[in-house]
Amino acid sequence: MYDFAYQKPASIADAAKLLADPEAKALAGGMTLIPVLKQRLNKPATVVDLSKLGLAGITVSGGMVAIGAMTTHVTVARSAEVKKAIPALASLAANIGDRAVRYRGTIGGSLANNDPTADYPAAVLALGATIKTNRRSIDADSYFQGMFATALEPGEIITAVEFPVPEKAAYVKFPNPASRYAMVGVFVAKGPKGVRVAVTGAGQNGVHRHTAFEQALTKSWSAAALDGIATPSAGLNSDIHGSAEYRAHLVGVMAKRAVAAAG
């Protein structure tokens, strides 16, 4: 770790001012940022801790679940309201990383980072959620822009994520045996925005929608509807844990399991 200055502002305005410096970096749960700093892969002049901005918390109203950016995974996993409104989201959060990670890691950090194998991006994209920042609202379809790339502008702070409550939804993940991030994760949802299927982990460009599955499920919401629809392996990752062909196959298996789980 290189030396850096540490700031813990008490207002979003102050945080934004600090983050206007291109050498500054926001700190949420630190589960990604701290290892990156320890490995000296990043050298921020200032680390801006977002934990005093009042960004943690969950509210459910009017068919919308709003989750503050600093809400930890464990809070989402245990929230009775989330469990009731979008059980798939609670169970997704409950299976992120390990217990220590779930106590520290936040939804805002996960989405800002947009790791191509992270779980939350699949929920956000499939549920058609909206990312709220200190400057604007960004819809899911325009938010994710490839691996580790998002629509966030420099210094922009995610404040909350709003999920429309779906009729049915489920997420099934095939964990990478070593890291337990998603090797393939598929989130299926049927809701106000129609049938949406998002795939994380598999693609070289991170989370993406699976239009062939969406069309089939729109016609008939059943696992059997996905029979015979091959997922092309082009553009999928291939590494020591599995080939692109294997990942393509898993996309189908996870999607069917998700549809079955969603009921």
Ligand X SMILES: Cc1cc2nc3c(=O)[nH]c(=O)nc-3n(C[C@H](O)[C@H](O)[C@H](O)COP(=O)(O)OP(=O)(O)OC[C@H]3O[C@@H](n4cnc5c(N)ncnc54)[C@H](O)[C@@H]3O)c2cc1C
> Does residue 171 interact with ligand X by CB under 6 A?
no
- Please state, as a whole number, how many other Cβ atoms lie within 10 Å of the Cβ of residue 43: 12
> Does residue 234 interact with another protein by CB under 8 A?
no
223's contact among another protein, ligand X, none, with CB below 5 to 8 A by partner kind, is none
Q: Which is nearer to another protein, 148 or 218 (CB)?
A: 148
Under DSSP, is residue 117 helix (H, G, I), strand (E, B) or coil? coil
Q: Which range touches ligand X (CB under 6 A), out of 97-105, 222-230, 243-251, 253-261?
A: 97-105
Q: Which is nearer to ligand X, 30 or 57 (CB)?
A: 30
Q: Which is nearer to ligand X, 173 or 190 (CB)?
A: 173
Q: Which is nearer to another protein, 51 or 176 (CB)?
A: 176
DSSP state, 146? S
Q: Residue 186 forms beta bridges with which residues?
A: 172, 199
26's contact among another protein, ligand X, none, with CB below 5 to 8 A by partner kind, is ligand X
Q: Which is nearer to ligand X, 227 or 239 (CB)?
A: 239
**Size of residue set near ligand X by CB under 6 A:** 30
Under DSSP, is residue 108 helix (H, G, I), strand (E, B) or coil? helix
Q: Which range touches ligand X (CB under 6 A), out of 6-14, 113-121, 208-216, 221-229?
A: 113-121
Q: Which is nearer to ligand X, 95 or 204 (CB)?
A: 95
Minimal distance in Å, beta carbon 32 to ligand X?
3
Q: Residue 164 forms beta bridges with which residues?
A: 64
193's contact among ligand X, another protein, none, with CB below 5 to 8 A by partner kind, is none
Angle at 108 between CA 169 and CA 206, to 5 degrees: 65
160's contact among ligand X, another protein, none, with CB below 5 to 8 A by partner kind, is none
d(CA 62, CA 232): 39
Asked whether the beta carbons of 71 and 58 are under 8 A apart, the reply is yes
Distances (CA, A) of 10 to 51, 90, 104, 154: 8, 29, 19, 20
d(CA 48, CA 45): 10
Nearest partner of 122 among 93, 149, 98, judged by Cα:
93
Structure tokens at 22: 């291109």
Site for another protein in 42-81 (CB under 8 A): none
- Where does this chain bind ligand X (CB under 6 A)? 25-33, 50, 69, 73, 96-97, 101, 104-106, 108-110, 112-113, 118-120, 157-158, 180-181
